[in-house]
Structure 1
Amino acid sequence: MPELISSNEFYELIAQFGGEIGQSSRGTKMILVKKLLCIGIFKSLPIFAKLDVNDQIIILKYVSRAVVYLCCCFVSYELGSHTLIEKDGFYPMAPFSDEFSFKEDKTLFALANKAFSKPMEPFHRIGISKEEFSLILAIIYLNPDIPGLSEFARNILSIEFSFYSKMLLNYLHNKFGIDAGTKKYAECFHLISTSFIGAQNFTSLYIYQEALYKRPPQSLKIPNSLKAIFSI
């Protein structure tokens, strides 16, 4: 568990943020760590070693933002928060609260709310356990309909997708019964859709901020071996 940030650092981050996570050195490091986490999760699945490198990259590019969102939402949900929050206490919705100047930009506030708070609503409405989350996380990587995949990848992904989906359904049937378990199963897949939508909303927020609140980004030296990760 990381140490809680001080009030001074909190306000410094908001000043750096200018509303944008990626502009600060801390934000850039956070994004890098989460992208490495996406790769680590994928590598932990048995199917990873069976896939060609090109197919691995296609899958990572397609799901990485949604996986980051899903993980951030689950952590925030476990912390009891109704907006995205880091374990050190920083939450990206802070610059858009009543205490700061961004509240005057209603379009920016609406975009930030969609990116940072709206995705939390289904998590609290549905409720999600660690076991359910783990299976959802595996399933999100196993979509055989991702554009650009080889025929071989589609075939084995289809098998694995069916396997993990049935595992989730059986787990929920055993836990809640047939009717309630089937309902929860559909709701779990809704969380996957929510994660992709949340990632798209974050992109919209980023584009809007870039256009209206341009600030020079703080550079972070990244090893050449890791630069490709930022393109995922």
Structure 2
Amino acid sequence: MDLLFVFEIGKTFTVFYQLDNNDKIALCSNIAVPLFVLCNSFYSVQQNCDVLCTPDGVMPIKIFEDSFYKQNSVAMGMGDKLFCKAIQPFVRLNLINEEFVLIRAIIYSHMVSPGLSDQAQKLLYIEAEKYSALLMSFLQCE
């Protein structure tokens, strides 16, 4: 998931249009990695994978297993942590689509991202509260 993709998804949120360009860049730059983890972990679980798997079926751990990294225990350990162990909480949670979308919206409302203006922080705080309340209501109804 690259920064442009993060920016494009951001455009689906009305609050995104209320932010100035510097705030949009600051927000997207700071949420790109958490979104990458959330999205790819969610898609992996949806595809019944117990390791990180991209939506098109690529398993990054294979890069480590099928290359010269295989001989490097440090690299293999990092690969295991990044692509295998990191997904285990998502496997246990087994999020449904509604939960995933609301969590993604909460991440997009990350009001404490470095570089955000005070106005952007206030707007994003309101959005985070709204999406958090929606998620809580949804979970209580289940």
Task: State the alpha-carbon separation in 2 of the partners of residues 88 and 61 from structure 1.
Answer: 24
Q: CA deviation at 1:103?
A: 2.2
Q: In the alignment, is the contact (CA less than 8 A) between 1:142 and 1:157 conserved in 2?
A: yes
Q: In the alignment, is the contact (CA less than 8 A) between 1:85 and 1:92 conserved in 2?
A: yes
Q: Provide the TM-score with structure 1 as the length reference.
A: 0.58
Q: Does 1:81 align with 2:49?
A: yes
Give the share of equivalent positions with the same residue, in percent: 32
Task: State the alpha-carbon separation in 2 of the partners of residues 61 and 90 from structure 1.
Answer: 24
Task: State the alpha-carbon separation in 2 of the partners of residues 88 and 154 from structure 1.
Answer: 35
Determine which of 111, 115, 131 is the counterpart of 2:82. Answer: 115
Task: State the alpha-carbon separation in 2 of the partners of residues 140 and 47 from structure 1.
Answer: 13
Determine which of 4, 9, 12 is the counterpart of 1:44. Answer: 12
Q: In the alignment, is the contact (CA less than 8 A) between 2:44 and 2:50 conserved in 1?
A: yes
Which residue identity lines up with residue 134 of structure 1 in the other structure? V
Determine which of 69, 79, 104 is the counterpart of 2:71. Answer: 104
- Give the alignment's Cα RMSD to 1 decimal: 1.5
Indicate the SS of the match to 1:81: coil
Q: In the alignment, is the contact (CA less than 8 A) between 2:41 and 2:52 conserved in 1?
A: yes
**Which aligned pairs between 1:53-202 and structure 2 lie closer than 5 A?**
53-97=21-65, 100-175=67-142
Q: In the alignment, is the contact (CA less than 8 A) between 1:35 and 1:68 conserved in 2?
A: no
Q: In the alignment, is the contact (CA less than 8 A) between 1:67 and 1:137 conserved in 2?
A: yes
Task: State the alpha-carbon separation in 1 of the partners of residues 113 and 3 from structure 2.
Answer: 19
| Structure of larger gyration radius | 1
Q: Which runs of 5+ in 1 are unaligned?
A: 1-30, 176-232
Q: Provide the TM-score with structure 2 as the length reference.
A: 0.92
Indicate the SS of the match to 1:54: helix
Task: State the alpha-carbon separation in 2 of the partners of residues 174 and 88 from structure 1.
Answer: 33
Q: CA deviation at 1:36?
A: 3.0
Paired residues, number: 142
Which residue identity lines up with residue 113 of structure 1 in the other structure? D
